[in-house]
Chains A and B, each alone.
Chain A
Amino acid sequence: MKQFSSHIENIQRLSEKTGRAVKLMEVCGTHTMAAFRSGLRSLLPSNVLLLSGPGCPVCVTAGDYIDRAIVIAHEPNTLVASFGDMIRVPGTDSSLEEARAHGARVLVVYSPLDALNEAIRHPKTQVVFLGVGFETTAPAVAWTIRESKRQGVSNYSVLCAHKTIPPAMAALLRSGDVKIDGFMCPGHVSVIIGSRPYEFICRDYNIPCVVAGFETADMAVSIGILLQQILNHRAEVVIQYSRSVNESGNAEAQAIMNEVFEECDDRWRGLGMIPHSGLRIRKQFAQHDALTIFGNLNIPAPRERPGCICGAILKGTQLPADCPLFRTQCTPETPVGACMVSSEGTCAAYYKYAKYTEHHESASKKG
């Protein structure tokens, strides 16, 4: 393993050779936070700009999903279980956290297994797990659905909003709203799906991809790989995160995902409806689908908060500093948009580390 400093020197050397501004998108919210926290962004040359992509599941979940979860959590003998990030996301009128303060039953869990066990312990309570997340998380949730059917746990269900990453990357490119020179593909999504599902990005859009790990050195090496491809006019999928990712992915995880879920079109906050980008629960598991169980509830039409530009930020077309609410009305304590709530949200990252980024990236944008 080379010294970290040599990776940075490599980036500097390659970026000088490109002779232009290079925009690389880190698709995954975990990469976004890692790049900020480690200070890697501050070590990059001014013509290499990292754009944050749509890979924060909490951020891209449509507002009416939260509204539906809140209505369900107010139903009698019902408990909504969720990963912690979700409960502070603002819906149209409130968040799950605020709803809990007004009597809704909401439980934060670490794993969907905890939600299933809660259902087993309390058979008279319908436990609804909020199935939010990408391919990394979907197999775990699929397992609990299949297991609840196998064990006859009739009071466990999932409100499914799982999404898949490659169609969203293609949708971004098709929109033409933002010019991207290379993708840093999400490492842990790729553990499940492998590297092959990104090949069409290289082939059809001529954009290089690297599947990157999450340590600072992993990301520095990955940026160097993308710059080298750009210089050589190549567009291939390279696996930098080889300790976890291979070409074909995790076959066991893919099998259970396919058994329980089927592909559907899905709406992403900021990106709109994207064909084939969602997962829904197959009919044979309908008794564990919260949409079936709570299908007749009256959900108000969702409204985006006026002034919030989360959508543009998720597409990489605007930065948090461009938002009139950023740091004024919208802070981690009083979030207006989802990007400020999630620990992986772009606005939360900029808020925490803004001293550097405001200076560096306003200069970079001009390139």
Chain B
Amino acid sequence: MCLAVPAKILEIEGDTAVIEINGVRRSGNVSLIHNPEIGDYVLLHAGFAIQKWSEEDVREFNAITEEMQKLEQT
């Protein structure tokens, strides 16, 4: 139940944002994070952004998942 997925903020209007997750767009609430901005990467849980990720965090996540995918293929 505590699943959360990384997502990117594309648009913001009030507490609500258009968020992209793996190429899929949906709305999300951004009132639980400090100073949300367009272009921010966030962690989305139950329709709410609960944390921001830096560019470096995104790179680390991508590197980990890429390596895991390679391992699964081998």
Seen from chain A, the residues whose Cβ lies within 8 Å of a Cβ on chain B are 1, 3-4, 28-30, 38, 55-58, 83, 85, 110-114, 132-134, 136-137, 139-140, 143, 186-189, 191-192, 215-218, 243-244, 250-253, 256, 342, 344
Contacts and interface: CB of A to CB of B under 8 A. Distances in A.
B39 interface: no
Interface in B52-74: 53-54, 56-57, 60-61, 63-65, 67-68, 71
Contact of B1 (A1, A85, A114): A85
A111 B32 contact: no
Interface in B2-20: 2-4
27 contacts: A3-B67, A4-B67, A57-B1, A83-B46, A110-B47, A111-B48, A132-B1, A133-B2, A133-B46, A136-B50, A137-B2, A140-B45, A140-B48, A186-B2, A188-B45, A191-B4, A191-B51, A215-B61, A215-B64, A217-B67, A243-B53, A243-B54, A243-B56, A250-B32, A252-B31, A253-B32, A253-B50
Contacts of A1: 60, 63-64, 67
B1 A137 contact: yes
B63 to A, nearest CB: 5
Interface residues of B, number: 28
Query: Chain A's interface: helix, strand, loop or mixed, by majority?
Result: helix
A217 B50 contact: no
B50 A139 contact: yes
